[in-house]
Amino acid sequence: MEIFNVEIALRNFGPLLAGLMLTIELTFVVIAISLVFALLVALGGMSRFAPLRWLVKVYVEAIRGTPLLLQLIYVYYVLPEIGIRLNSFTAGVLALTLNYSAYLSEVYRGGIQAIARGQHDAAAALGMPRMLAMRRIILPQAIRVVIPALGNYFISLFKDTALCSVVSIQEVVFTAQILAARNFQYFTLYTVVGIMYLAVSFPAARLVAYLERLTKAGYRRRRS
């Protein structure tokens, strides 16, 4: 069995770190877009306009019923056949955003539906039209409810970006594959990659746990 080779680890640390940075960049771009897009999907799913509700339902079911890997391949290799040619990064962002938005929209929907009927009644009784009540009263409370769930999805997104190697994005796993193909130091390289993932995901999980405690603490005055 090969042993961990410190020299190899150090020599390849630079390119691997560059790969990790791309992984993180990909994660943040997808988070930023899907936070907004998923909310629109959730609101569309609750619309009074039936065709919009059906469209949302078809989209969510199609995404949830197929593998993310297939969705990535589809966006990168099949869309060009109908004239939509995307570079690797854009294809990865598009597929991941479509995938995660479907799941996140369900999270938002759950959060919105968790808000008590009395809140809708009170807003309506004050003369607030439906969308104003949604924006000012319901969503601020719902988002607070779903923050921990969103956080956990984002951690799993961070790990799922590894699948983007199939569309040739040189994120950290793909970088390690390329390096290992040259020097055959699988143990060392993939161990470094594993540690890199943990170095990000472990603190992120602690942060989510902290946010969860914070959101459960209720609404109180902050005393300084």
Partner 1 sequence: MNDRRPTRPMIEVEGLHKHFGDNHVLRGIDLAIAAGEVVCVIGPSGSGKSTLLRCINHLEVAEQGRIRIDGELAYATEKRGVFRPHSNRAIAAVRAQLGMVFQHFNLFPHLTAMGNIIEAPVHVLGKPKDLARKRARELLTQVGLADKEDAYPEELSGGQQQRVAIARALAMDPKAMLMDEVTSALDPELVAEVLATMRDLAAQGMTMLVVTHEMNFARQVSSRVIFMDQGMIVEEDSPEHIFGAPRERRTRDFLRTVLER
Binding positions for partner 1, rule: CB under 8 A: 116, 118-119, 121-130, 132, 136-137, 140-141, 144, 218-221
Q: Work out how close the CB of 124 gets to partner 1 at its nearest, in angstroms, rounded to a whole number.
A: 6
Q: Work out how close the CB of 49 gets to partner 1 at its nearest, in angstroms, rounded to a whole number.
A: 14
Angle in degrees, CA 28, 30, 36, rounded to 5: 105
Are the C-beta atoms of 24 and 172 separated by less than 8 Å? no
Minimum CB distance to partner 1 smaller for 182 or for 223: 223
Q: Work out how close the CB of 119 gets to partner 1 at its nearest, in angstroms, rounded to a whole number.
A: 6
Q: Work out how close the CB of 127 gets to partner 1 at its nearest, in angstroms, rounded to a whole number.
A: 3
Distance between CA atoms of 175 and 196, rounded to whole angstroms?
13
Q: Which of 51, 35, 38, 42 is nearest to 115 (CA)?
A: 42
Distance between CA atoms of 56 and 29, rounded to whole angstroms?
23
Minimum CB distance to partner 1 smaller for 52 or for 200: 52
Q: Work out how close the CB of 116 gets to partner 1 at its nearest, in angstroms, rounded to a whole number.
A: 8
Q: Which of 103, 125, 124 is nearest to 45 (CA)?
A: 103
Q: Which of 105, 201, 200 is nearest to 149 (CA)?
A: 105
Q: Quote the distance between the C-alpha of residue 58 and its chain's center.
A: 20
Minimum CB distance to partner 1 smaller for 65 or for 218: 218
